[in-house]
Structure 1
Amino acid sequence: MTRDKSLRRKCLCIGTGGTIASEVTRGGLAPTRTDLFFRRIRQHPSLTSPSEFTDSSVSFDSPVHTTLVGRNTLFPALITPDLDDEGRSVEYEILDLDRHMDSSEMTPSEWNTIASLVYENWDAYDGFVILSGTDTLAYTAAILSFLFHSAGKPIVVTGAQIPLSRPRSDGWTNLLDSLFVAGVLPYAGVGIVFNHQVLHGSRATKTSPNLFAAFTSPCVPALINLNVKITLDTALPLRSTTPPPPLIHLHSDPTVVAVHIYPGMTGSLLEAQVDAVPTCRAIILSAYGSGNLPLDEKNGMLVSLKRLVEREVLVVVISQCAIPNVYPLYAQGRTLLSIGVLPGYDLTHEAAFAKLIWLVSQPKLTFKEKQELFETPVVGEMSVDSGV
């Protein structure tokens, strides 16, 4: 039977390494840059349709003919079996970055690389899948949310708790679900696909290194639930012809400092951490409860915060709580507002970090404009009326 190619969308998978691509080495599991990852996928019946091979003798050990794209490696296109009752399938290519890494090594430089590849290939594909390690996966999804806000195609980020090379890997279903979301569903935007859910890319956080449900979005429900019955959020952004905004090159020097508030924290300790990073342009304070800080005159915190704002350092307060919510309801919060400290509302740490890097990487914005834009939801990353 001839398959209807008009029902087939094309996706680009960008491989960065991480657990999903890890192999057993002498030093333990590590993301190695070989073609083993592609070979495993090519042989998986849920990810590659046998009918698409012109040579039925293709095996795990069959040669893999790759193409160099700059310093990155492009593997041959694969086609999934039908992914729904209407016969939709997905053609996808895997583009491996020149360096596979543990995601704990991820920096803004790698985000620039990933974003540039998506931007350069925007017109050639219907959707994008970023294969990432889980440690910084939520950070990657958050920054891509800001870099590609309002764009009309899906960009999904996924990974695994167990590598494809090991038994019981969750990577198989995460990858299959990602191709289904990026290539079949009417969804557009940046999301995290994990454990049969699609989470808002700027709302998620990693909550477990052990559970297959490694990520949650504590303040909003999942966008899509991929159960026996697929349920979609009624406000789901839909595919469109809207192009991505002009690409912003993120500063690769450290620009955002994150400080966890603890008993005994003083203003001098805070300033010492900021002064140790000459390129710092923003600071995230993870505070108690609804954004409470030690502001007794003796500890000098209020004076230090005022001094930092006067130096045009963006100062943001978020909550240490698992379900965050910072709002200027109490007198202390209003005192902080009066000196230019910004409330983080229900932002996750990942989203606050990504939004600040995105803001400080835009030299045309004034300090005041950056402050105002921080308090404005850009990609649905926060609810500014959360204190009602």
Structure 2
Amino acid sequence: MASTNAENEPRRSICCIGTGGTIASEPTAGGLAPTRQDTFFRRIRSHPSLTSPAHFDSSSVSFSSPVHTVQVGKNVKYPKLITPELDDNGISVEYEILDLDRHLDSSEMTPSEWNIIAELVHQNWDNYDGFVILSGTDTLAYTAAILSFLFNKAGKPIIVTGAQIPLSRPRSDGWTNILDSLFVTGTLDFAGVGIVFNHQLLKGTRATKSSPNLFGAFTTPCVPPLINFNVKITYDTSAPLPKRSSNPLPPLLRLLTDPSVLSMHIYPGMTGSLLEAQIAAVPTCKAVIISAYGSGNLPINEHSGVLQSLKRMVEKEILVVVISQCGIPNVYPLYTQGRTLLSIGVLPGYDLMHEAAFAKLIWLVSRPELSFKERQELFETPIAGEMSK
């Protein structure tokens, strides 16, 4: 029988998937590292904002109390926890932490790990009302972006969060990031993939990591936050929040794990031979992101050889996308360079962030049923709110 809240309403159940990262790091002889041990769970179980002692069988539960885990394949599931009341209506949330068998520094995240996370969400979709992915911050925005495409229009919330300071250290921001994530997934009528960080809910396909130091580590330069969690909670009024629904879960897509999307930065002196050398070194390459100047400009004079190289890439049916190096990107073909690129089949990235461009391309090239032309057309079609045209 489902547990209930103060108003006798069913209490929502959330699955938190632990991948490691800063939030789960502990001091080691070599510095902070995302070690896999039950200390992380013990810290959460002992925190009064995340665990209500009223729901324990014993009032004597402490940090050192035993932890009874369940092995789920290679992963470990920790005991269910229940939050205190999270809003004025007396709503609380129950949640379970499912820890991956190997904790990662998020700089080690690859499409293989994304496949594991997506499969776990897929397997547990009917068992929970929402999901929280606990991640390191370096690739957190990439993870949110790829999950946005893999679970596009699914009817439940999937939140990705982490911390700038580990839970094991003083002044950790991880406590409030977890709390706000449980608030979003457990109390709000919200569906979709988002990032919760520093008292904001950000759209999963629009975010980028903008600071390794500030608690506000993530921004969405081209769109406002979906929600600001201040004394008064405020919402973006330009578009309604997607609501929970019974939309069917998209079929599970296995992402290619061989290197398939390359990223190249244009700089003064870049030549076509340099571009092609990188392509030649990766025979599994199916798409290339070119980070260009300003509104999508790059050298196209015959001496540089860049234009000829890009044309040969397209002829080999490699998706070539141009995005902007600017902090607030927007690629539009105002200048001769941009219009010339369009004429040879190079695709404009509009206001895509690099994270979303990478995620969208790997999502496209992992779909063998699509032709090259269909992939080109779908790239220029907004799929998960990732760009404006």
- The alignment's TM-score, normalised by the length of structure 2, stands at 0.97
Q: 1:137 aligns with which of 125, 135, 140?
A: 140
Output the amino acid matched with 1:48.
T
Would the aligned equivalents of 1:280 and 1:313 in 2 still touch at CA under 8 Å? Answer: yes
Gap change, CA 1:106 and 1:180, over 3 Å in 2: same
**Which amino acid counterpart does residue 57 of structure 1 have in structure 2?**
S
Counterpart amino acid of residue 29 in structure 1 = L
CA–CA distance in structure 2, aligned partners of residues 4 and 165 of structure 1: 35
- Asked whether the equivalents of residues 7 and 87 of structure 1 are also in contact (C-alpha less than 8 Å), the reply is no
Please tell me the residue identity of whatever aligns with 2:32. Answer: L
Change (3 A) 1:90 1:145: same
CA contact under 8 A between 1:202 and 1:380: conserved in structure 2? yes
Taking the TM superposition and a 5 Å limit, the aligned residue runs for 1:207-218 are 207-218=210-221
TM-superposed deviation, 1:231 = 1.4
Alignment-mate amino acid for residue 102 of structure 2: R
Aligned length: 384
Of residues 357, 363, 386, the one that matches 1:358 is 363
For 2:341 and 2:118, how far apart are their aligned partners in 1? 35
Query: Are residue 248 (structure 1) and residue 291 (structure 2) matched?
Result: no
- The residue identity in structure 1 corresponding to 2:350 is Y
1:178 counterpart (158, 167, 181): 181
Distance 2:242 2:7 in 1: 27
Q: What does residue 104 of structure 2 align with?
A: 101
Distance across 2 between alignment mates of 1:254 and 1:4: 51
Alignment of 1:177-256 (within 5 A): 177-234=180-237, 235-256=240-261
Matched, 1:167 2:170: yes
Given that residues 5 and 90 in structure 2 are in contact (C-alpha distance below 8 angstroms), is that contact kept between their aligned partners in structure 1? no
Q: Secondary structure at the match of 2:294?
A: coil
Matched with 1:342 is 347
Query: Would you say 1:281 and 2:310 are equivalent positions?
Result: no
Deviation at 1:3, TM superposition (A): 3.7
**Residues 184-223 of structure 1: CA deviation (Å, up to 9, x unaligned):** 1111100000000000000000000000000000000001
- SS in structure 2 of the partner of residue 6 of structure 1: coil
- Give 1:330 deviation, angstroms: 2.0
Q: In the aligned structure 2, how far is the partner of 1:49 from the partner of 1:266?
A: 61
Aligned Cα RMSD in Å? 1.1
Q: State whether structure 2 residue 43 is matched by structure 1 residue 43.
A: no
Q: Could you list the structure 1 runs, at least 4 aligned residues long, displaced by more than 4 angstroms after superposition.
A: none
CA contact (8 A) 1:200 1:223 kept: yes
Among 77, 81, 84, the alignment partner of 1:81 is: 84
1:244 is displaced (CA, Å) by 2.0
Report SS of the residue matched to 1:298: coil
Q: Work out the CA distance in 1 between the residues paired with 2:133 and 2:307.
A: 42
| TM score, norm. by length of structure 1 | 0.98
Instruction: Name whichever of 239-248 and 79-88 sits farther off.
Output: 239-248
Match of 2:382 in 1: 377
Q: Distance in 1 between matches of 2:10 and 2:69?
A: 27
| Pairing 1:296–2:322 present | no
1:24 to 7, 27, 41: 27
Unaligned 5+ runs, structure 1? none
Distance 2:210 2:316 in 1: 35
Structure 2: segments with no counterpart, 5+ residues: none
Q: Does 1:67 find its partner at 2:70?
A: yes
Question: 319, 326, 334: which one pairs with 1:329?
Answer: 334
| Cα distance, 1:352 vs structure 2 | 0.3
Cα deviation, 1:140-194, whole Å, max 9, x if unaligned, reads 0000000000011000000000000000000000000000001111111000000
